[in-house]
Amino acid sequence: MKISKFKLALYGKYLFLIIISFLSIFPLFWMFVSATNASVDVLAGTLLPGVQLKENLTKLLANTNLLRALWNSFKYAAAATILSLFVSSLAGYGFEIYHDKGKDILMNILLLSMMVPFAVIMVPLYMMFGNANLLNSTAGFVLPTISTAFLIFLFRQSSRNFPREIIEAARLEGLTEFGIFFRMYIPVMKSTYAAAAVITFMNAWNNYLWPLIIMQKPEAQTMPLLISNLTSGYVIDYGVLMLAVAISVIPTILIFLALQKNFAEGIVGSAK
């Protein structure tokens, strides 16, 4: 009797996990299936892959500048990731390795920036970038995202695991302080960099509000803007729409599946 009750509870747990997993995956599954179907079939509730993928793609390419948007999104995200990793890891390293009272206070002040809602600063930022003639430019997209307290904090926390002996030894060898950072720290901290890169790239790739404000020219459009615009028509072609969404989601899903561990580390990293 006791065993069967235990078994029953176990089956209940599995059932619960299966239902939640199903609900988590289903919308994405539906998106992929719909991308291969005509709009009528999508609305009819089909759950089988169709044969309309090519037609949907032709329509999408004809109605939007898909390749331009993909390239823009990639360009902005790559630039943001490289610069952000460089600037934030420099600062994180500096805050931990050379820490003193002044730097600790500054770090705490910088952390307050994480409490600043983007809606609060978007109008002044828009004015600043408008005055500096940086609307519709890569620099405009990237600049506000280069330095974030989150990444600096992540690098500061993980710098604690960087062996001090390496620094001491490198100093005796005659390496400069910056030399130690570039030649010792960066190679050793590869996994932190990977985690930070995944997070930063995804955030930049998915960023919506900031490009919505500053990327006013069609040539500067990103993928989130492109798919959002597709829904503004009076009649929506769901096959084409879901294909566009699928194309924008595929890179992040691939990165996620390949680097899930780094992704989780990047999210949780600074909370340790």
Among the residues of the chain, which ranges form H helices? 2-35, 39-43, 53-63, 66-97, 101-111, 118-131, 138-146, 149-159, 164-172, 177-180, 186-188, 190-206, 209-214, 223-230, 238-258, 260-268
Residue 42 sits in the site that holds another protein (CB under 8 A): yes
# of chain residues touching another protein (CB under 8 A): 102
- CB of 230 closer than 8 Å to CB of 244: yes
Q: From the list 11, 13, 61, 163, which residue makes contact with another protein (rule: CB under 8 A)?
A: 13
- Quick one: which of 23, 48, 67, 235 contacts another protein (CB under 8 A)? 23
Q: How far is the CB of 107 from another protein (least distance, A)?
A: 9
Residue whose structure tokens are 């430019």? 137
188 makes contact with another protein (CB under 8 A): no
Q: Specify the stretch interacting with another protein by CB under 8 A; choose among 55-63, 74-82, 115-123, 186-194.
A: 115-123
Q: Which is nearer to another protein, 57 or 240 (CB)?
A: 240
Does residue number 99 form part of the binding site for another protein (CB under 8 A)?
yes
Rule CB under 8 A: is residue 2 a binding residue for another protein? no
> Using CA of residue 193, residue 251, residue 229, residue 222, what is the dihedral sign?
positive
The radius of gyration of the chain's CA atoms, rounded to the nearest angstrom, is: 24
d(CA 160, CA 204): 27
172 interacts with another protein by CB under 8 A: no
For residue 112, state whether it binds another protein (rule: CB under 8 A): yes
CB of 213 to another protein, least distance (A): 6
Could you tell me if 65 and 221 are in contact, meaning their C-beta atoms sit under 8 angstroms apart?
yes
DSSP three-state, residue 164: helix
Is there binding between residue 104 and another protein (CB under 8 A)?
Answer: yes
Structure tokens at 137: 């430019």
- Taking the least distance from each CB to another protein, the nearer of 57 and 151 is 151
Choose which of 53, 82, 90, 194 interacts with another protein (CB under 8 A). 90
Q: Cβ of 12: how many Cβ atoms within 10 Å? A: 10
Piece of 14-22, 52-60, 62-70, 133-141 that binds another protein (CB under 8 A) = 14-22
Tell me how far, at minimum, the Cβ of 177 lies from another protein, in Å. 5
By CB under 8 A, tell whether 44 contacts another protein. Answer: yes
Please choose, from the candidates 203, 197, 195, 196, the residue with its C-alpha nearest in 3D space to the C-alpha of residue 222: 203
Q: What part of residues 208-237 is at the interface with another protein (CB under 8 A)? A: 208-209, 213, 224, 227-228, 230-231, 236
Beta-carbon contacts of 152 under 8 Å, excluding residues fewer than 6 positions away, are 88, 91, 92, 95, 107, 110
Question: How far apart are CB 187 and another protein at their closest, in Å?
Answer: 17
Say whether residue 64 binds another protein (CB under 8 A): no
| Residue 153 found at the interface with another protein (CB under 8 A) | yes
Q: How far is the CB of 144 from another protein (least distance, A)?
A: 4
